[in-house]
Amino acid sequence: MYDFEIRHAPDAGGHFDGFGGKYAAETLMGPLAELEAAFYASWEDESFQNERLRLLQQYVGRPTPLYHAERLSREIGGAQILLKREDLTHTGAHKINNTIGQGLLARRMGKKRVIAETGAGQHGVATATVAAMFDMQCDVYMGREDMQRQAPNVFRMELLGARVIPVDSGTATLKDALNEALRDWVASCQDTFYIIGTVAGPHPYPLMVRQYHTVIGQEARAQCLAQFGCLPDMAVACVGGGSNAMGLLHPLRDDDIRLVAVEAAGHGLDGDAHAASLAAGRPGILHGNLTYLLEDDEGQIKGTHSISAGLDYPGVGPELAAMYEAGELELEAATDEEALQAFSRLSRCEGILPALESSHALAAAMRLAADMQPEQMLLVNLSGRGDKDLDTVVKIVEDQKAAGQTP
């Protein structure tokens, strides 16, 4: 089911058709080169890969099922909808595939401490989880604003033995936490490994994180062939930074499959309250790489909005920018409202509460499936479970009830 060939590798400078690269402080060039060499050596090392697969199986719960949502497909009356169930992994989302990989690499490199940035807290929890298992010290940078909005995840990280460091700079959210983590790493890289949470950051991070997540698409491809005797016609994933999307889509790139990325349209793409970096952004440099960004005319990063904290990032992984410009990727968007509708539809129709991030992918998938034929198949990455979002959803449903609207 799994193969370790690195397809569509970036060039020596870490560029994917010009996007990506290594725009980092001089002092980080050495550590980044060391990281790159260690990553490639580990990737070729059979014992490393065996240990990674053992943990993905025994600890994470892979392979995750590929589920044919028959009732939902019937209701929509178009293509058959297949769900890749990343929501069933340990910690409830795809992010742990990456933290297992980077955690193992940190151990191999002899690092005793890991650091991470987190927005909603999901990547922080996945990092703290792995740090506990590997007996490593763990510090997680989190915007003070986010710490207030996501208090239960702060508590989770602390229970797992991590220290959560509040970040007050900028807007005190994810992008500022990432800046602080990079700053820490400049001073601490001797004994510290920086675990980045998505396919962003300077080279080799976008490549590494992608490779750790390709288990998603490799499994889905094999499962689809085994269960249905053919490949899907279309594959759909939501995009925050782009790690679950690259994980699902990358192993399907060389097949004749339409690849679709779904961005968060927030209150709508016509205003500024969204997080659609590809649809509404332009190339610029952030967090060590050249990619599509939401920035104003002065080059300042704009504030973003999405109902799902995990999609609320003003950039996108550089390889997705390259795929988009090359015409390899179709772009869709879903608003807060559409994501909420998809959330309740999947809950009622299939008994699965999806994460609000994944609900964006579902919203677009249901729209696209309706225009397809019943003998066609559409694969959706259900990147996480919705339990973490219950407070958000319940509050909105209560408000709608109070306003006399039916949910």
Is residue 196 at the binding interface for ligand PLP, with CB under 6 A as the rule? no
Residue number with CB closer to ligand PLP (189 or 275): 275
Selected from 66, 239, 321, 393, the binder of ligand PLP by CB under 6 A is 239
Is residue 95 at the binding interface for ligand PLP, with CB under 6 A as the rule? yes
Q: Which of 308, 338, 383, 388 is catalytic?
A: 383
Residue holding tokens 């490779």?
211
DSSP track, 321-335: HHHHHTT-SEEEEEE
Is residue 198 at the binding interface for ligand PLP, with CB under 6 A as the rule? yes
Q: Which of 84, 95, 111, 388 is catalytic?
A: 95
Per CB under 6 A, the segment of 59-67, 282-290, 354-362, 399-407 that binds ligand PLP is: 354-362
Shortest distance (Å) from residue 116 CB to ligand PLP:
12
Distance CA 8, CA 253 (A): 9
Per CB under 6 A, the segment of 41-49, 145-153, 268-276, 351-359 that binds ligand PLP is: 351-359
The answer to whether residue 111 is catalytic is no
Q: List helix spans (H) across 8-45.
A: 26-44
Query: Around 208, how many Cα atoms within 13 Å sit in the side-chain half-sphere?
Result: 29
Give the helix/strand (H/E) hosting 369.
Answer: helix 356-370
Shortest distance (Å) from residue 357 CB to ligand PLP:
3
Is residue 355 at the binding interface for ligand PLP, with CB under 6 A as the rule? yes
Distance CA 189, CA 192 (A): 5
Tokens of 330: 């179709």
The answer to whether residue 84 is catalytic is no
| 381: nearest Cα among 251, 291, 278 | 251
SS3 45: coil
Residue number with CB closer to ligand PLP (218 or 244): 244
Tokens of 101: 């990989």
Q: How many residues bind ligand PLP (CB under 6 A)?
A: 19
Contacts of 239 (CB under 8 A, 6+ apart): 245, 261, 262, 263, 278, 311, 316, 320
Contact 273, 200 (CB under 8 A): no
Give 225-232's long-range contacts (Cβ < 8 A, gap of 24+): 227/66, 227/68, 228/68, 228/377, 230/377, 231/255, 231/256, 231/257, 231/377, 232/82, 232/257, 232/377, 232/378, 232/379
Selected from 73, 118, 129, 383, the binder of ligand PLP by CB under 6 A is 383
The answer to whether residue 117 is catalytic is yes
Shortest distance (Å) from residue 241 CB to ligand PLP:
4
Q: List helix spans (H) across 113-260.
A: 122-134, 144-149, 151-159, 174-188, 205-228, 243-249
Is residue 241 at the binding interface for ligand PLP, with CB under 6 A as the rule? yes
Tokens of 307: 């109902």
Q: Which of 86, 117, 180, 263 is catalytic?
A: 117
Selected from 192, 211, 244, 359, the binder of ligand PLP by CB under 6 A is 244
Is residue 242 at the binding interface for ligand PLP, with CB under 6 A as the rule? yes
| Per-residue contact flags (x/-) with ligand PLP for residues 301 to 340, judged by CB under 6 A | ---------xx-----------------------------
Is residue 238 at the binding interface for ligand PLP, with CB under 6 A as the rule? yes
Is residue 243 at the binding interface for ligand PLP, with CB under 6 A as the rule? yes
Residue number with CB closer to ligand PLP (336 or 357): 357
Residues in the chain: 407
Selected from 14, 124, 206, 240, the binder of ligand PLP by CB under 6 A is 240
Selected from 184, 295, 357, 389, the binder of ligand PLP by CB under 6 A is 357
Is residue 279 at the binding interface for ligand PLP, with CB under 6 A as the rule? no
Is residue 153 at the binding interface for ligand PLP, with CB under 6 A as the rule? no
Amino acid letter, 175: K
Active site residues: 95, 117, 383
Point out which residues bind ligand PLP (CB under 6 A). Answer: 93, 95, 122, 198, 238-245, 310-311, 355, 357-358, 383-384
